[in-house]
Amino acid sequence: MKRFLGLFICVVLLVTGFAVTGHAGTDLGRWTDWVRVDKLNLEYRVRCNGLGEGSNKYIWDVEVKNKSAIAAKFGASLTSSDLTTEPEKGWLTWPISGHRTHKFAGFRSDVAPGQKVQVWLKNLSSEKQDATNTFQSVANMDALNGKIFTACNMEWMIGKADIDWTQTQAWIKTLNNGWRAPTKAELIGLFNEVDQKSPIGQDYVWAEARDAHSAWHFSFYYREARWSYFDDHSRYGRAVAVRPL
């Protein structure tokens, strides 16, 4: 009976997921509206950060909010809207505490901004329930690469989105002309000047190295500086360089 009930919930959510309406487009790097998944007590939203390389060239993020008070391990996947069976590969998993969120970053897909994408969510804790939802997300391609703006009495150059700290440093070395990585303090100063209206188009922005194995980044979403290991590929940020005016 329990197994049948679980299957019934999956079918109901699969059918109702396709009825979710499209969302209006937003600026680059800005999230769509939250979509509620009642049976899992979740909400999620997506955004397209721009172009990668080769096939699966568009880069997407999925942010999941656990609306319940109970922590659970969730899986997320993102595919084209014509896939009707649960994907076997491409899942990212993470435990999410009650009333907290987690961003599953760096999904690569052939789905372009303006096309329908399908978000798959799965509860991987002991009481498993599956759900699938689709909606149309209209977003702009990444047009910020190379853009320069002025803030905090400095020039800021925006680089690629969704790259790791090592890739960011390699990009900065190609710039010359006094460009360098911002410090944690400088990113805090930028946040104090612009608040959450980041001109950079991504929540996480890389700063200087923290030690031999990790680096600082600033989150415009969480309003604070954090750190990640160099080889933590669950964390991708925006490359930014600075120089004095």
Query: What pLDDT, in 10s, does the model give residues 144-171?
Result: 778 888 888 999 998 877 778 888 899 9
Q: Check pLDDT > 60 for residue 128.
A: no
The three-point CA angle 208-212-218 to 5° equals: 30
Q: Report the CATH superfamily, name and number, of domain 148-244.
A: Mannose-Binding Protein A, subunit A (3.10.100.10)
Task: Tell which wins on pLDDT, 201 or 140.
Answer: 201
Burial 83-116 (b: 16+ CB within 10 A, else e): eeeeeeeeebeeebeeeebbbbbbbbbebebeee
Q: Which residues in the chain are classed under CATH 2.60.40?
A: 2-139
Residue 51's DSSP bridge partners are 58
Report the distance separating Cα 203 and Cα 64, nearest Å. 15
Q: Check pLDDT > 50 for residue 132.
A: no
Its CATH class, for the domain covering 2-139, is mainly beta
Q: Check pLDDT > 60 for residue 23.
A: no
pLDDT at residue 19, as a whole number = 26
Q: What is the pLDDT of residues 55-114, one digit of tens each?
A: 677 888 899 988 888 888 888 988 887 787 888 888 888 888 888 888 898 888 888 777
Q: Which residues in the chain are classed under CATH 3.10.100.10?
A: 148-244
pLDDT at residue 1, as a whole number = 44
Task: Tell which wins on pLDDT, 48 or 138.
Answer: 48
pLDDT at residue 130, as a whole number = 43
Mean pLDDT over the full length of the chain? 74
pLDDT at residue 241, as a whole number = 92
pLDDT at residue 234, as a whole number = 54
Q: What is the torsion angle, in degrees rounded to the nearest 10, for the CA atoms of residue 118, residue 123, residue 124 and residue 128?
A: -120
Q: What percent of the chain has pLDDT over 70?
A: 72
